[in-house]
Amino acid sequence: MTKTILSVNNISKSFGRYKAIDNVSFNLQKGDIYGLIGSNGAGKTTIMRLITQLSPLKVGEIKLFDQRINQQALKHVGAVIETPAAFGKLTVQENLKLVAIQRGINDSKKITEIIKFVGLTEKVHTEAKNLSLGQRQRLGLAIAILPEPDLLILDEPINGLDPSGIIEFRKLLKKLNQEKQITILISSHILTELYQVSTRFGFIYNGQLIKEITKEELDKANQSGLVLTVDDVSKAAQVIDQKFMEKFTVVDDKNILIHSLGIDPSKLNRELVENGISVISLTKEEKSLEDYYTNLIGGIKNA
Amino acid sequence: MLNQLRTDFYRLSHTLGIYLTLLFAIGYSAVITSKNIVGGIMVTTDSMAKLDSSKLWTLKDGINASTLSSSLLVYAFIGIFVMTVGYEFSQKTYKNTLVSGITRTQFIISKYLVMLINIFVLSLVYFFTSIVTGMLLSRSVGTSWSKLLATVFKTSLVIAFFISVIFGLAILVLLLTSSIVTGSIFIVICPILVTTLHNIANWSWLKYFDFFSVAMKISLGLIPNNQLWNYISISLLVLLVTIVLSVVVIRNKEM
């Protein structure tokens, strides 16, 4: 049974006459990596600020672990909103020690573990002001995850990271999600990255949540996957069903679309041939999250 | 809230500024006592009359001189305000603090308490330096030791409390203006403005808001006992209103 970690119900936020958030609702289930997608000023950060109570909520309701969000509930949340914050003149270790005291964590080994986890072991005695942008992002993440939160909120965490930093950060997030079972709400306008890490997506446009979709549904909608052209689709469908257990759609009497790019094409080819099926072609059909987003926003603008 | 207090003390103990403030307090007190001089600002003639610079000073005279000179401490202690509250806002670490589970009320009260305790401890060091300096110069106590120590404790407490009222107001100014500079300037201007207005406009009620002069006058026994509680209760009320307003502002503020 899925457990709802965060429930955002009909929240709105205005700054003067400008409506930054307009009646937004969504839920996060345990284990989700929920990617919030939207252009600059769409309202992603405002939503995160409302969840963390850095912005006062006047309209709507936010529930965390089934109770109305309050300071007590926030103890289960780690967050990096806008930019990672740390005391510049304190070292990496001192900044984390500070958080440990603040959160009542007495185990000093935990600080060492977290520093290792985020890959800052060599910078342990470096003052925060002397860290590179990527290292500061890691420190921000370390500060957020030190109290072992159930929910991690990350606002544009890969901004300013170099390509290798982005790859490492992606690995870190997956590790957090899989090893520590942390549910993650993440925003970014680098959609290729969000696609790589997220399991669900929410599209924000002009303060409204215009679409929610799972990664699976997105791949299906994008027709992403492997397109298989064979001489006998019914027999091929049986083999795929039995041997690979991946979701697929029989497109016509020659083509099957397997809704996964994770399947090994050579293994699939071998299985089909061994079962007497002639494989005419096997191609990757890949549309991106950007394509989906562009179509979605384009459709709304033209409506 | 206890964790937040511990957090701030840990951070301050790793900040150079606090040690510089401590050095200033020690140096300033040592110079006043050893050189038989009275520094500071807003020293009134009636308070000066308490001290006869021509005679050989006792330890008690040293404490009195340090008390008269302590008006400068409010400016030296601005660093405590900047380090305790200002840094949280300039480095945006309040985002981590406010997501740590602490309430806005606890946040404001803990910041106030950290400043109060720091000012109190630094004031104690300031007065004990005067005693140590006097002892090194082989001066007599001038009163009983118990009375001298009680005076040091009481004066430190009174000075810490009245300075903390000004710093409490500065927190409110900082929150209203989102500017550490404005908050710090307020600390500089507030005592001068109140004293000047008091002298120029002859508004007698302003004497209750001349927090620093009040601290000195109480310490030197220049305020009659029947008026003492008027001063203290008005300052307490100002402090309470300031804390409540600060909580209201921070609750409704876009952080």
Each residue of B89-124: pLDDT tens digit? 998 999 889 888 889 999 999 999 999 999 999 999
The three-state secondary structure class of A285 is strand
Verify that A193 and A114 share a domain, yes or no: yes
Average pLDDT over residues A157-183: 83
Point out the least confidently predicted range of A80-89, A248-257, B171-180, B238-247: A248-257
Residue found under tokens 């000093």? A108
Instruction: Pull the structure tokens for residue B222.
Output: 């220049």
List the single residue in A54, A74, A90 with the smallest CB-CB distance to B14. A90
Please report the pLDDT score of residue A95 as a whole number: 95
Contacting residues for B144 by C-beta, under 8 A, at least 6 apart: none
> Which residue does chain A place closest to B83, by CA atoms?
A87
CA of residue B220 relative to chain centroid, distance = 16
CATH, residue A259: 3.30.70.100
Contacts of B14 in chain A (CB under 8 A): 89-90, 94
Whether A15 and A70 share a structural domain: yes
Average of pLDDT values for A149-162? 86
In a domain, A217, yes or no: no
- If asked whether residues A117 and A144 sit together in one domain, one would say yes
Does the pLDDT of residue A99 top 90, yes or no? yes
The CA–CA distances, whole Å, from A117 to A80, A106, A111, A135, B138 equal 17, 18, 10, 13, 60
Domain of A85, in residue numbers: 4-211
CB contact under 8 A, A56 and B253: yes
Count how many Cα atoms sit within 13 Å of the Cα of residue B121 in the half-sphere of its side chain.
13
DSSP A81-123: -SS----TTSBHHHHHHHHHHHTT---HHHHHHHHHHTT-GGG
Question: Does one domain contain both A106 and A235?
Answer: no
Contacts of A64 in chain B (CB under 8 A): none
Residues 6+ apart with CB under 8 A from B117: none
**Residue A79 maps to which CATH number?**
3.40.50.300
Residues of B in contact with A52 (CB under 8 A): 95, 98-99
Are the CB atoms for A148 and A77 separated by under 8 Å?
no
**Are A49 and A187 in a shared domain?**
yes
**Contact at 8 Å (CB) between A170 and A150?**
no
Tell me: do A93 and A192 sit in the same domain.
Answer: yes
As a whole number of angstroms, the distance between CA A147 and CA A143 comes to: 8
- Report the distance separating Cα A12 and Cα A93, nearest Å: 39
The residue among A211, A231, A255 that closes a domain is A211
Rg of chain A in Å (alpha carbons): 22
Query: In terms of domains, do A61 and A196 share one?
Result: yes
Mean pLDDT across the stretch A128-151?
A: 90
User: Are A170 and A197 within 8 A, CB to CB?
Assistant: yes
Number of domains in chain B: 1
Domain count, chain A: 2
Residue B253 distance to chain A (closest CA, Å): 7
ipTM of the complex: 0.84
- Rounded Cα distance, A43 and A56, in Å: 15
Give the model confidence (pLDDT) of B167-197 as tens digits.
999 999 999 998 999 999 999 888 888 878 8
Confidence of residue B43 (pLDDT cuts 50, 70, 90): very low
Is A292 part of any domain?
Answer: no
User: Nearest to residue A149, comparing CAs of B251, B110, B96?
Assistant: B96
Residue A290, domain member (yes or no): no
Residue B62's domain comprises 2-251
Average pLDDT of the residues in B12-34: 94
CA A19: distance to chain centroid?
26
CB contact under 8 A, B10 and A97: yes
Whether residue A154 sits in one domain with residue A90: yes
Q: Are strands A183-187 and A151-155 parallel, antiparallel or unpaired?
A: parallel
- Better pLDDT: A249 or A63: A63
Chain A closest-CA separation from residue B88 CA (Å): 8
User: What is d(CA B135, CA B141) in angstroms, rounded to the nearest whole number?
Assistant: 8
Question: What's the CA gap between B32 and A82, in Å, rounded?
Answer: 49
- B138 in contact with chain A, both atoms CB, cutoff 8 A: no
Residues of chain B with C-beta less than 8 angstroms from the C-beta of A94: 14
Q: Is residue A293 part of a domain?
A: no
Residues A16 and A163 in one domain: yes
Query: What pLDDT score was predicted for residue A303?
Result: 60
Q: Which amino acid is at B45?
A: T
Averaged pLDDT, B136-149: 90
Domain annotation covers residue A302: no
Instruction: Give one word for A156, left, alpha or beta, with left for phi > 0 and alpha for psi -120 to 50.
Output: left
Mark yes or no for CB contact B101/A98 under 8 Å: no
R_g of chain B, CA atoms, integer Å: 19
Q: For residues B253 and B251, what is the distance between their CA atoms, to the nearest angstrom?
A: 6
Chain A residues inside the 8 Å CB shell of B98: 52-54
- Eight-state DSSP code of residue A286: -
Q: What is the pLDDT of residues B45-93, one digit of tens each?
A: 555 555 555 677 889 888 988 888 888 888 889 999 999 999 999 989 9
Residue A58 sits in the same domain as residue A185: yes
Q: Give chain A's contact residues with B (Cβ, < 8 Å).
A: 49, 52-56, 71-72, 74-75, 77-79, 81-83, 85-90, 94, 97-99, 101-104, 143, 147
Average pLDDT of span A112-139: 90
